[in-house]
């Protein structure tokens, strides 16, 4: 861990003794927005590079070694991806990312099981990849139940249970929320769905590689993964499509050459898939130590800020939360303005990432947080390359900036 920390730290860590130059345009030099995306781990990049150059073959070319080399690399990546979630290689379908995986899972089940029913259950705090897909299906005559979440961000299992009816074909609930880091009880949800004979999909984009996910013990039928949230490249992901007694059947949304067993046509993104595989292998190896390290850093950040500032609230359950996530609201402070006061730190505010309308986050609103506090929220997303020195620097800058902003508005 020290080795990679130094590789990245060389260009990203501003020494605490020498604060970044704050004249003129400031480039963020501390990256703490790892729920939006993560940097590609240098070890992942290294493994990908040959597949852009000498090993450029098409994995579907069966008549020469260029194709065989590419195909072998894809199958290695498939095994590695499957292993991280306790699946079998043949249950992995490579896609362009989690948005596509969510679309494929939900639309694919909707089309395939329409004869059985037209009801799908999800939750209000899901990612847009799930919510907007459900909205589209609604226009096509499907009935969608959007479960509410409590102040802690969790769905109510009894409520989920009561919503499952004869026409219910799918429950789609995320494993970890991308804003609050809140973990849904996917094991219990899976058990419930299995008992009631309903398929269970989980958008596990934020959870995979950060916490143990096991598709069998969590009774998952479908699960979405994205490489760029776990130190792999952008534009590649996977959908787990379970095959226990019978295969889960999904209709493709992209038709063509019949790649990925007909579920996702199109020439495979070999370098990207190699990167996803390597990222999964690394995440699996390092997860136990890394999740402890991240939880330690996250708690350090929280304790420093809470001990020095009044009027700070934690959004969502602290107990059921990803180790690297902290989502705070600072009373009487606008999140966007706070971020402008600390331009050398890359963080995200609770206003939707939609530049034209600074709407408060629908995820925070779903927790019953008022617009004011939702507007005053900041998401800290700690990742593999963050260090304790960075945490201390960020805590110091947040404390000092919030205190100054409050003083200014009081006078």
Catalytic residues, which ones? 353
Which C-beta is closer to ligand PLP: that of 73 or that of 175? 175
Nearest residue (beta carbon) to ligand PLP? 97
What's the per-residue H, E or C state across 219-270?
A: CCCEEEEEHHHCCCCCCCEEEEECECCCECCCCCCCCCCCCHHHCCCCCCCH
* CB closer to ligand PLP, 69 vs 105: 105
Q: Which of residues 225-254 bind ligand PLP (CB under 6 A)?
A: 226, 228-229, 237
DSSP conformation letters of 155-166:
PPHHHHHHH--T
Spell out the residues 6+ positions from residue 56 whose beta carbon is closer than 8 angstroms to its own: 66, 70, 270
Nearer CB in complex with ligand PLP: 119/229:
229
Separation of alpha carbons 218 and 207, rounded Å = 13
Binding span for ligand PLP by CB under 6 A among 2-10, 13-21, 91-99, 394-402: 91-99
Query: Which residues have C-beta within 8 Å of that of residue 252, sequence separation ≥ 6?
Result: 104, 108, 262, 263, 264, 265
Q: Which stretch binds ligand PLP (CB under 6 A): 133-141, 189-197, 201-209, 373-381?
A: 201-209
* Residue 206 is a binding residue for ligand PLP (CB under 6 A): yes
Binding flag, residue 315, ligand PLP (CB under 6 A): no
Contact in structure between 124 and 366 (CB atoms under 8 Å): yes
> Between 122 and 141, how does the x/- string for binding to ligand PLP read (CB under 6 A)?
-----x-x------------
CB of 206 to ligand PLP, least distance (A): 5
Task: For residues 318 and 231, give the distance between their C-alpha atoms in angstroms, rounded to a whole number.
Answer: 25
The binder of ligand PLP chosen from 30, 121, 174, 248 (CB under 6 A): 174
Identified binder of ligand PLP from the candidate list 203, 221, 260, 290, rule CB under 6 A: 203
To which H or E segment does residue 312 belong? strand 312-314
Does the footprint of ligand PLP cover residue 98 (CB under 6 A)?
Answer: yes
**Strand pairing of 168-172 and 199-203?**
parallel
Q: Kindly give, in sequence order, each residue whose CB lies less than 8 Å from that of residue 112, ignoring residues fewer than 6 positions away.
A: 249, 250, 251
Contact flag: residue 183 with ligand PLP (CB under 6 A): no
Write down the least CB distance from residue 254 to ligand PLP, Å.
15
Could you say whether residue 316 binds ligand PLP (CB under 6 A)? Answer: no
Query: How many residues form the binding site for ligand PLP (CB under 6 A)?
Result: 14
Binding mask 19-58 for ligand PLP (x = CB under 6 A): ----------------------------------------
- Residue 114, classed as helix, strand or coil, is coil
- Considering the complex, state which of residue 47 and residue 100 has its C-beta at the smaller distance from ligand PLP: 100
Q: Tell me which of 29, 34, 38, 99 binds ligand PLP, using CB under 6 A.
A: 99
Taking the CA atoms of residue 199, residue 184, residue 93 and residue 88 in that order, the dihedral angle to the nearest 10 degrees is -80
Cα 299 to Cα 318: distance, rounded to the nearest angstrom? 10
What is the contact surface with ligand PLP in residues (CB under 6 A)?
97-99, 127, 129, 174, 178, 203, 205-206, 226, 228-229, 237
């Amino acid at each position: 861990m020290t080795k990679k920390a130094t590789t990245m730290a060389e260009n990203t860590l501003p020494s605490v003794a020498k604060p970044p130059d704050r004249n003129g345009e400031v480039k963020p030099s501390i990256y703490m927005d790892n729920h939006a995306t993560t940097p590609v781990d240098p070890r992942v990049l290294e493994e990908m590079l040959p597949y852009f150059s000498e090993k450029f073959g098409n994995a579907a070319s069966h008549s020469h070694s260029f194709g065989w080399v590419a195909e072998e690399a894809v199958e290695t990546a498939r095994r590695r991806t499957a292993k991280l979630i306790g699946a079998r290689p043949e249950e992995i379908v490579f896609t362009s990312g989690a948005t596509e995986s969510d679309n494929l899972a939900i639309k694919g089940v909707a089309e395939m099981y329409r004869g059985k029913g037209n009801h799908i259950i999800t939750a209000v705090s899901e990612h847009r990849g799930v919510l907007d897909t459900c909205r589209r299906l609604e226009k096509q005559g499907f009935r969608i139940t959007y479960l509410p979440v409590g102040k802690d961000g969790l769905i109510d299992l009894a409520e989920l249970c009561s919503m499952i009816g004869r026409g219910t074909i799918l429950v789609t609930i995320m494993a970890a929320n991308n804003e609050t880091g809140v973990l849904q009880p996917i094991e219990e949800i899976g058990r419930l769905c299995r008992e009631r004979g309903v398929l269970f999909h989980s958008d596990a984009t934020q959870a995979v590689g950060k916490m143990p996910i096991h598709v069998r013990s969590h009774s998952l039928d479908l699960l979405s993964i994205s490489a760029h949230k776990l130190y792999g490249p952008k534009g590649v992901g996977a959908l787990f499509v379970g095959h226990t007694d019978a295969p889960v059947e999904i209709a493709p949304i992209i038709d063509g050459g019949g790649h990925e067993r007909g579920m996702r046509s199109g020439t495979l993104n070999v370098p990207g898939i190699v990167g996803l595989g390597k990222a999964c292998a690394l995440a699996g190896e390092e997860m136990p130590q890394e999740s402890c390290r991240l939880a330690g850093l996250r708690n350090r950040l929280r304790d420093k800020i809470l001990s020095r500032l009044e009027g700070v609230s934690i959004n969502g359950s602290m107990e059921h939360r990803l180790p690297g996530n902290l989502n705070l609201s600072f009373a009487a402070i606008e999140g966007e303005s706070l971020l402008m006061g600390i331009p050398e730190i890359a963080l995200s505010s609770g206003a939707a990432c939609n530049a034209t309308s600074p709407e408060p986050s629908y995820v925070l609103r779903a927790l019953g947080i008022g617009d004011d506090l939702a507007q005053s929220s900041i998401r800290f997303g700690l990742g593999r390359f963050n260090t304790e020195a960075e945490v201390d620097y960020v805590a110091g800058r947040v404390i000092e900036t919030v205190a100054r902003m409050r003083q200014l508005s009081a006078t």
